[in-house]
Structure 1
Amino acid sequence: MHRADSRDHMLVKSYILLPLILSAFERDSAIMSAHLRTPAPYLEALKIASSTATVDLRDVRQEMRTRGIKVYEQHRLKIGIEAKFICRGYHDRMLLLNDIIAAQAAIHMRRYLGLDISSYKSYEEQYQLKSKK
């Protein structure tokens, strides 16, 4: 058995972030439909983005099952979200700070909306890590 590796942590992080992104899209759709004169094009863009995020969440869940990962507890704290999970028999925890959640969610939301995110550095570039491919 092996402890969680970086891919496992990325899956857990996505498992936490994607429902937040979906909630934001849903909330924004309600606001736009109530306050815009012609909300249809914006709502369509949000619906497409939401559908793509939903598919990604399904894929993340499937990959987590395949890799033996299960998040069994999540807590909203003042500083962020703490998740406890089991990865191939080992208990682990992850703390995502609110600033990290906001920044990562904004990047993912831009990508789902079809906006250019090339100016944002990847995790590997930001921390000068060599990605395993």
Structure 2
Amino acid sequence: MASTIAATRMTFALDCPDAVALAEFYAALLGWRVDRDPTDDGWVEVHPPIADAGASRLAFQQVSNYRAPEWPDGPTPQQAHLDFSVPDLDGAAAVAVGLGAVRHSVQPSETGNWVVFSDPAGHLFCLCRHSD
């Protein structure tokens, strides 16, 4: 019996009200590319710029009656979030806000080494100061 599932690729999927719009937000934020079936706006993927069959990717699944997570407390919990390590935290934060992210009112980092944002659909993500 195998001790792992031997996955060849990891896709992290987020539910959202508009899969195309949220995919375009993350593609612009990360410098990745949108990959979509033009006949299906309900599932859209964002891939890294370098073609690598095993690379991680993001996917966005359009759902009706979407409710944004509420953090840190609320009836719709966070459930998941994304962390992106960046070499220039202030510069990356400015880019994120310029693309439509909102700096969250709750910032638990006591050192300022990471900042919490909400994407245009309300999902949380953190920009983290890159450290080796």
TM-score, with structure 1 as normaliser:
0.26
Higher relative helix content = 1
Q: Rg: which structure is higher?
A: 1
Higher relative strand content = 2
TM-score, with structure 2 as normaliser:
0.26
